[in-house]
Amino acid sequence: MSVASRPSEAAPEALAERLARAEAEIAGLRRREELLAHGLSHDLRAPLRAIHGYAQAIGSQHGAALDAQARDYLGRIRDAAGRMEGLIEKLLQLSHAARAPLRTDVVDFSMLADWTLAELQDLEPSVAVDVEVQPGLLVQGDERLLKQLLERLIHNAWKFSRQRDRVRIRVQGEPRGDRLLVDVSDAGCGFDPRYAQRLFEPFQRLHGPDQGGGDGLGLAIAALIVERHGGRLWAESEPGRGSVFHLELPAAQLDTLPGAANH
């Protein structure tokens, strides 16, 4: 009996050893992600700044001696450096969304949506807008990451609605058990629904630059933030008639608010 029982007695030790190895591997992966993010932030940005700076200096100091084609080339160099800088910033945001510790609390999702829309209206005051945010949408999550999530979704809706007579955006929601379902809808150009799942993959673009297409990272960041909150994100659309992005997030745990036990 004692011999037969040895494997079961050793099983907890083997499990603990495997768990320790897995935790060490995860720690190593996180460390490598941190080093990569540091490299992106410093080692790649420095030569980009130099490229942009020297191109700017040539244009300002020697621009009069250049022909139209050379000035066009300089402009293209500056534009390409600017796009690369923006891409690096998005990659850093993607990395941060994946590894930042979650500080969960009751978050006023409606307030974050109003805030994001107000920022966009301040940036483009000449754009005619028709926006509506349902008040009282409360979720449980990390406020900073949820603000980034709404920035990605609302910026996307705004960008693909610019060619309309006005930008129309709605943020509405309803509770479903311990979840909150939120819809971010627009009346923009829409997309082919056959490719809806590709929207949330890094570097996937359903629109070209002339249609407002970006670097293909914004919605990937949004999807990662939702995933880290244990939620879901999916989209529906019809070309020419706008899109709806559906969010399912943990509903606010109101009993965690200070003084909740007294009510």
Q: What is the DSSP string of 99-150?
A: HSPP-EEEEEHHHHHHHHHHHHHHH-TTS-EEEEE-TT-EEEEEHHHHHHHH
Pairing of strands 104-108, 138-142: antiparallel
C-alpha 183/C-alpha 52 separation (Å) is 40
Range of the domain at 115: 104-255
Question: Which are the contacts of 140, defined by CB distance < 8 A and separation ≥ 6?
Answer: 104, 105, 106, 107, 249, 250, 251, 252, 253
On whether both 189 and 202 belong to a single domain, the answer is yes
On whether both 118 and 231 belong to a single domain, the answer is yes
pLDDT tens, 47-63? 888 888 888 888 888 88
Amino acid 263: pLDDT: 43
What's the chain's average pLDDT? 82
pLDDT tens, 202-242? 776 655 455 444 567 888 899 999 999 999 999 998 888 88
C-alpha 18/C-alpha 179 separation (Å) is 34
Sequence-separated contacts (24+) of 224-231 with Cβ below 8 Å: 224/94, 224/97, 224/98, 225/97, 225/145, 225/146, 225/148, 225/149, 226/149, 228/97, 228/98, 228/102, 228/145, 229/102, 229/141, 229/142, 229/145, 229/146, 231/179
Boundary-marking domain end, from 37, 68, 99: 99
CB of 156 closer than 8 Å to CB of 117: no
On whether both 136 and 79 belong to a single domain, the answer is no
Span 7-26, mean pLDDT? 70
Helices (H), 2-129: 2-38, 45-62, 68-99, 109-123
Boundary-marking domain end, from 80, 99, 118: 99
Has residue 59 been placed in a domain?
Answer: yes
- Residue with the larger pLDDT of the pair 25 and 250: 250
Amino acid 44: pLDDT: 74
Confidence class of residue 256 from pLDDT cuts 50, 70 and 90? low
List the structure tokens of 97.
């969304």
Amino acid 261: pLDDT: 46
| Percentage of the residues of the chain whose pLDDT score is greater than 90 | 35
- Residue with the larger pLDDT of the pair 179 and 240: 179
pLDDT higher than 80, residue 176: yes
What single-letter amino acid sits at 99?
R
CB of 168 closer than 8 Å to CB of 187: yes
Boundary-marking domain end, from 58, 83, 99: 99
On whether both 41 and 126 belong to a single domain, the answer is no
pLDDT tens, 78-123? 888 888 887 787 777 777 777 788 899 999 999 999 999 999 999 9
Has residue 148 been placed in a domain?
Answer: yes
On whether both 90 and 108 belong to a single domain, the answer is no
Torsion of CA 5, 11, 13, 15, to 10 degrees: -170
On whether both 108 and 215 belong to a single domain, the answer is yes
On whether both 216 and 114 belong to a single domain, the answer is yes
C-alpha 60/C-alpha 129 separation (Å) is 38
